[in-house]
Each structure stands twice: as structure tokens, then as C-alpha cells.
Structure 1
Amino acid sequence: LRTARDRERTEAIAAGKLADPNKRRRLSEAIVVVGTCEDMCPEFERVQRTAQNDVWAEEADPATADLDTSQRIPDETRMVKRYKRAAAGEDEQLPSDLRPAHVLKQTCDYLFHDVLRNAPDWSVHPFIWNRTRAIRNDFSIQQFAKPAELSLAIECFERIARFHLLSLHQCSVPDAPDKYDYQQDREQLDRTLVSLMQYYDDSRGRILLPNEAEFRAYSILFQLQSSDLEDRVQAWPREVVDNQRVQIALKIASAAGNTEDLHGPMPRHMTRYVIAQQHWQRFWELVRSRSVSYLMGCAAELHFQLVRRLVLNSLLVAFRASKGRQTTDWTLEELCEVLNFDSEDDVIDFCQHYGFEFRQREDGLQYIDLNS
């Protein structure tokens, strides 16, 4: 196989299908590689990873999936191209390493319809996370431009973005899958959405974009703290901006932003508190409304801790005592409501993380000590 790869590389360079690493080219002369691999995983990678005992449980014969990697029997029909970072000095991928758009779509189908749907839990997350990253990389390298290929690319990126939104919510629990990394998951959602927005912009007027408003709404919620959010929204088509999902997302972003950034002359802390309270209440009300879909809620949830910190800071500024006096008004029950937690234990954990302590009133109720 190595000999065949060397021959393929030589022939591809000679035919102008692959750049010659020994010759300098202008950017305008760059060669876009066209994939020829009709399998979910290129043949050379299948053989190489089998020899290296690098067959993941999801790719092995089910009877051997739970065994040590050295004992797993690969099922080549289950093997999916693995993502790995390009190393310095590494050869460019060959056409036989890259999958055409229709194969990438078939691979997406397999990952979501077969692997994820049939999994008993989120233990398959690392596998799908890695393989969808490889799918995005194959799309990026080949720079598809034909309408049919663009449609497939957008469909795949949309599905991958939904996967990341869902996993960021479902896997952010104490019993998360092994090796789950919240920050890496969030980073890949960011990159997926950025690429998807670029696809929308580049494809406008060439193909239909039936789901654009849905994902523009997710991008708003994902980037609530972005300083240029309003400017970017102004560049979107009017029918997208006027879509109900986008309008709700903009209202949520406005409520979250105003909770943090209080405008105008407000010399008194209590005035600032009252205005901030109106905004955070509006934020929670919008998130809980029936106008917000499940995945929109998952996107907004990425900023729950930020809003909670802002709420806590507003309470601190408005009610922190001076000269040894303090308020006992903010009980666990009331904090649970304004911080939008499901349980009082969650409130205690959150507040204690920032150094606050809880005391007990004469009536037996616990309250936060804002002077602690």
C-alpha cells in the first residue's frame, strides 16, 4: 500500500491534481484536491490503524468491542476516518484520503442514525466528536463550490452543530462520558458555526437555505457577549432578521447584555439593582418561554453562569451592608428563583464557589451572608 501511495502521489502531482511540495506557487495557482475515497474510512488508514491497534470500540466487531485495543477485531464497514492534527513536514493528503461530498453526507448519516441513535448513553461522544471533526476537515480541504456540493456541506455542518449544542447540555453533568472536555466541545461548536455562517454567505442566491434562520439564532445565543453582534445582524437578509427565532434570540441577547451593562446616570446602587433585576427576570422569562426551542435553550444555557454571576453581583452592590449591618432577606428559596436553579443545593454550591456563606435566621430559613 505504501508503494501504491507513492505512485498515486507522483501521478497526481504530474496530472496537476496535487501540489508539488518542491515547487513554489502563487496563491492564485493553488490546487484544490478532489477526493476519490468512496468509503467512510480510506483503505490505507484502515490498514494502518489496524496494524497500530488503533481501532476504536465503535469500529470493532461488537463481540470484541469491550476488549483491549490489541484484541479488538476491526469491522471495516464500521470504520470512520479519524481526525488528527497535521504535523509539520507531513505530506499533503492524497485524493484517495479525501471523501467526496456525497460520501461525507453518508458518513454523517451513519454517525447520527446508527452510532448515536443506537448508543445506550453518551459514551460514544468522543468517537462522534472526533469523526465529525474529520468530516468538517475534508469539506474544508476540498473547498466545494458546486450547488449540490454546497447543499450537502451545509446539511452536514448544520447537523454537526446540533450535535455539539445537544452534547454541551447533555454531557455537562457529574457523570459525563470519560474524557469529555466541555471547553473543547464548545470550541468545536464555535468553529462549526463560523464555517456554517460563511457557507450561508457564500451560497446566498445559488441554493435554498431553509434552515439559515435557525442557525443564525443559535449563533446569536452562542455569542451573547460579542461586541459587534448588532453590526453583523444588520448585514443579514431581512427575511432572516425578521424570523421569529432570530427575534427571540436578539431579545435574549439584549436582556443578558443589559443585565451587565447598565446605561445612563445611575448614582444610587438601588437604582442600578432595580434596572438590572428587570433585565435578568426578562432573560429567564424568555428562556423559559414556549417560543424558545430545546436547542435554543441549550445555546442560551452556555451563558447561564454569566447571568447568575451578574445577578449575584447586583445583589452584592445593592444590599451589601456597611457599618456592620446586613440584610437577611435573600433566602435560599428566593435565590433559587432569581438565579434560576433547580435546587437549593445548586444555589449553595454556586454561591460558595464565590466565597459566600449561608446563615440561619430566627425562623429557621437560610439566607446568604453578603458580607462573608
Structure 2
Amino acid sequence: MQASDVRPLPVLEETLNYLLNLLDATEHPFEVVHDFVFDRTRSIRQDLSMQNIINDQTIHMFEEMVKFHIISHHKLHSCSSKPSFSSVHYLNMEQLKKCLISLYALYKENRNSNSIYKNEPEFYSFHVLLHLGSNNQPLGESLSLWLGRVPSLILKSKEMCFARRLLRLFRMGNYKRFLCTTATEASYLQYYIIEPYINEVRALALSCVNYCGYKLHPYPIAHLSKLLMMKELDVESFCNACGLETSTDERGNKFLSTKQTNFHYPKEVFPSYCLLGLEHF
């Protein structure tokens, strides 16, 4: 490859801005737009890497590309019923992790001893949140070892404290605090990473209510709505997706009969039910 084949920084920056503006286009399905932008942002990263450009502009560009992959993670979730979703989602997540690795390296190279970049805490929190739902190690090492190298200013930030607390609540099965904490504290990018696990936590809560409830006292759907932080109509749909039946009394009040034996975690992907209380973005 010749030097003339590599695009200079101003051209790369302009190209990235153009590509990211396409995400709001409505002429084509999002997965089509995603594929187009996906390939070209990867090419931009390669050009930046080949030129070893390390400055504030490059950091901003990598932050924007991380945002692209996180927003794609959210939007592709609605396409999850399509056969091709799994591979597209996997590739998007792989590129998100690679973007984060490069971004963390850029932060480190450009960091002054007593200061951090404005967005560093939130972008570092993404790595912690990527540990939700599994024991995987997104960047190839244990989370505890990785945290040991995170600068103190970032580690003590509200964004990192939130992410670590949420991961702990998830692993403890504390569904009530997990949902409440997400609704009140998550940024929109953090929420997009958390979102696929919201219904998993709700299913755990529903399982506890079903198996631990008293059979002679059906559980009001209105109470479940508050517990699961869902609309009442969505609660009924959610219960049915988990194999549970609901009933209605003569006054029109709806209930979940507990001790049902047909509860199961749905094999298919849950619909994206909204999280009540998430109005701050």
C-alpha cells in the first residue's frame, strides 16, 4: 500500500461524520444502513492505526465509533427475529470490543497525570457492563485484573460506581434494585448495553413471585407492574411468554395465580418492553 492510499485525518473525520449522519436515514431498514456504515468505519480505524495518529481528534472519532456500535446493539435488537440477526449482532459486538481496546489505549497515551478526558468514566463503564449476563471476559482477562489498572479518578467516578454496582446486583439476583438503579441512573448508552438483560431480570422476579407466592392469594397484575417496572398490558404479555396464565375477577382486576408449574424462560427473544421510570433521556 502506498502513502497516497491512506486518507489523512481531516478526510477521515469528514467521512466519519457523513457516515454517522446516515444512521438517521429512513429510506432503508436499519440493518442495511448498519452494514454500510460498519464496513466503512472499520476502514477508518485501519487508516488511523496505520498512521499512528494519537490526538484529541482521534479520541473523539473513536468515541463516536463506539457510540455507533452501542446504538447498533440497541437497534439490531429489534431485528432479532430475523435469521441473519445472530451473526450481525456478533460481528457488531466484536467490533465494539475492538473499538474500546483502541480507545482505552488512546486515552492512556494522551492522559496527563492529574486529569482524565471528560467521557472516559462513561466509556470505561461500558467494559464493566459488557460482563452482564455471562462470565465472559470481553477483553480477554478477568474483570478484577482489568479494574486494577484503571486510574483512580475513573474508578471512583459515578459512572464506574454505577456499572460495578449494577453488575453486582445482577449477579446477586437483586432484581428490584437492579431495575430501579437502571431506570434512575443509567445514561442512554449504558442503558443500550443493559437493555438485553432487563427482561432476563424481570423473568427472575416473575419466577420468584410465582414459586414463592401463596396459592390462595393471587398476585395483582397492578403490583407486578410496579415490581417489574412495566405497563400492565405488557405484564400480561410477559407472563404469557413465560408460560404463566393470568385471570380477571368480576371487578375487572387482573391477577397472576401463583404456584403455576408451567413457568419457563422463553426460548425466543423477548419483545422490547419499556422500562417505566426511564424518562431522563
TM-score strictly above 0.5: yes
Deviations 1:62-88 (A, max 9, x none): xxxxxxxxxxxxxxxxxxxxxxxxxxx
Aligned match for 1:116, one of 23, 48, 64: 23
Q: State the shift of 1:109 in Å.
A: 0.7
1:224 aligned counterpart, secondary structure: coil
Alpha carbons 2:69, 2:93 under 8 Å: kept: no
SS state at 2:218 partner: coil
Quickly say closer, same or farther: Cα 1:258–1:250, change in 2 above 3 A.
same
Once the two structures are TM-superposed, the CA of residue 183 in structure 1 deviates from its matched residue by: 4.0
Structure with larger RCO (C-alpha < 8 A, sep 6+) = 2
| Equivalent residue in structure 1 for 2:146, among 225, 232, 248 | 232
Aligned Cα RMSD in Å? 3.3
Deviations 1:308-345 (A, max 9, x none): 121122223322x6xxxx2443222122222222x222
| Alpha-carbon distance, 1:307 to partner | 0.7
**8 Å CA contact 2:13, 2:61 repeated in 1:** yes
Conserved 8 A contact 2:63-2:103: no
Tell me how far 1:154 sits from its aligned partner.
Answer: 4.0
> For residues 233 and 125 of structure 1, do their structure 2 counterparts lie closer, same or farther at Cα, with a shift above 3 Å needed?
same
Instruction: Note the C-alpha offset of 1:258.
Output: 0.9
**1:193 to 1:131, Cα distance in 2 relative to 1, 3 A:** closer
Equivalent residues in 2 for 1:46-57 (5 A)? none
Task: Please tell me whether the aligned partners of residues 246 and 257 of structure 2 are also in contact (alpha carbons under 8 angstroms).
Answer: yes
Mapped contact 2:126–2:193 kept (Cα < 8 A): yes
- Give the number of equivalent residue pairs: 249
Does the Cα contact within 8 Å between 2:69 and 2:96 map onto a contact in 1?
no
SS of 1:36 mapped into structure 2:
helix
CA apart distance, 1:169: 3.7
Query: Do the aligned residues in 2 keep the contact of 1:284 with 1:340 (CA within 8 Å)?
Result: yes
Any stretches of 5+ residues in structure 2 without a counterpart?
136-141, 263-281
Alignment of 1:1-372 (within 5 A): 33=1, 36-37=4-5, 99-113=7-21, 115-117=22-24, 119-120=25-26, 123=29, 125-137=31-43, 139-140=45-46, 143-144=49-50, 146-148=52-54, 152-170=57-75, 172-173=77-78, 183-184=86-87, 186-208=89-111, 210=117, 211-227=119-135, 228-259=142-173, 279-289=174-184, 291-319=185-213, 326-341=215-230, 343-361=231-249, 363-370=251-258, 371=260, 372=262
Distance in 1 separating the partners of 2:127 and 2:187? 14
Q: Aligned AA for 1:302?
A: P
Given the two structures, how large is their TM-score scaled by the length of structure 1? 0.57
Shift of 1:242: 1.2
Q: CA deviation at 1:170?
A: 4.9
Query: Match of 1:271?
Result: none
Structure 1 stretches of 5 or more lacking a match?
1-32, 38-97, 260-278
Amino acid at match of 1:103: V
Distance 1:177 1:308, change over 3 A: closer
TM-score, structure 2 length as denominator? 0.73
Could you tell me how far apart the structure 2 residues matched to 1:159 and 1:201 are?
A: 14
Seq. identity, %:
20
Deviations 1:271-316 (A, max 9, x none): xxxxxxxx22211221121x43222222221211211121122223
CA distance in structure 1 between the partners assigned to 2:80 and 2:155 by the alignment: 37
1:359 to 1:310, Cα distance in 2 relative to 1, 3 A: same
Deviation at 1:151, TM superposition (A): 5.1
Amino acid paired to 2:121: A
CA distance in 1, matches of 2:23, 2:252: 48
> How far apart in 2 are the matches of 1:129 and 1:137?
13
Conserved? CA contact 1:358–1:366, under 8 Å:
yes
